[in-house]
Amino acid sequence: MSRFEKNNQRTQARMRTISGRLKEQQRRVVAPLRRGVFLAPATITSLGLLSGFFGLVSAINSHFELAAVMILIAFVCDGLDGRVARLSRTSSHFGVEYDSLSDVVAFGVAPAGIVYCWSLRLLGTWGVVIAGMFVICAALRLARFNVQTGSTDKRRFVGLPVPGAAAMIAGCVLAYSYFEFESPHVLVIVMAPLTVALASLMISRVPYPSFKTINLRQHAPVELVAAMLLVLAFLFAMPQFTFFMLATAYVASGPYLLLRGERSQALAPVLGPPAEGQAASPAPARKSRSGAAAARSTGDLSEHQPPPQVH
């Protein structure tokens, strides 16, 4: 072996050593950053959960407009946590489960408590039954969404999303306050069937539009941009009434799509076993010891990385 070849081998060995040290240093620096970024979506989810709780407390204290605003804050947090998790690549089983539990409180328990304290209290026991029905249907809707993640059309939701139902209740509260109505009996006549309808739509198979496939980087038609600017102008001028109209339009969009002939193919029903011919989804493979050790080093303790959820 010539001297040139020996020098070349030594150089390559030194380069490999330096590269290994650089990778080790990078791992030590990046791992704490990843653990820090992992806290960001969990923090946003916690803010949404607290907003729902404060909304419930405000309704108990008869501050209904503040309670509706808390639901809107939870609505915004629910839309942000998933996007932050995707951008930071910190989606995990923990985040998915925590987000679902937060949604049960912020968009199930809190709106039910608000609508009961605000209007259904006059019905006595029937008001409790209707509010409880809303909570149960919200939990069933979230459970069905979890088992159907990745197996349905991303352009459509199966049933009314839970945040949409909660936004409809919050919009009614804001519109009632905006127009300064003072008719409790008329309010009960309207809200009792509306709450039952929202609960039924959540566990139905009515298709609802999903905005997960919208790409903000693509060029949009001039008409769409003008419509969005008009909506923003109304939000600044009449925020309560505008939000009520937006929530009403979204809730009505599902039956409209159904009348047009669209159908949602729910691969996992809410109650009962799957339909005949549908195979159960395979159980996730257990992570190897080396993979688990690597996950612990990066702060990711999940079994695998599921696709992020958007409610």
Cα–Cα distances (Å) from 289 to 32, 190, 294, in that order, read: 21, 58, 9
pLDDT for the residue numbered 213: 60
- Among 79-93, 168-182, 227-241, 297-311, whose mean pLDDT is lowest? 297-311
Residue 287 confidence (pLDDT) above 70: no
What percentage of residues in the chain have a pLDDT greater than 90?
41
More confident residue, 68 or 18: 68
Domains of the chain: 26-265 (1.20.120.1760)
Average pLDDT, the chain: 79
In eight-state DSSP terms, residue 217 is T
* 8 Å CB contact between 92 and 38: yes
Q: What pLDDT score was predicted for residue 159?
A: 87
Mean pLDDT within 130-159: 84
pLDDT of residue 246: 93
Q: Which amino acid is at 62?
A: S
Q: What is the 3-state secondary structure (H, E, C) of 277-289?
A: CCCCCCCCCCCCH
CB 188, CB 176: distance < 8 Å: no
Q: What is the structure's pLDDT at 282?
A: 43
> Among 131-135, 195-199, 289-293, which is the least confidently predicted range?
289-293
* Cβ contact 162:134 at 8 Å: no
In the predicted structure, residue 292 carries a pLDDT above the cut 50 = no
pLDDT digits (tens, 9 = 90+) for 186-230: 999 999 999 999 999 999 989 888 876 666 566 667 777 788 888
Distance CA 78, CA 169 (A): 17
Please determine, for residue 69, whether its predicted confidence score (pLDDT) is greater than 80: yes
- Give residue-wise pLDDT tens across range 96-112: 888 889 999 999 999 99
Average of per-residue pLDDT across 221-242: 85
Query: CA dist 171 to 76, 134, 146, 163, Å?
Result: 14, 16, 27, 12
Tell me what pLDDT residue 298 has: 40
What backbone torsions phi and psi does residue 158 show, to the nearest 5 degrees? -95, 100
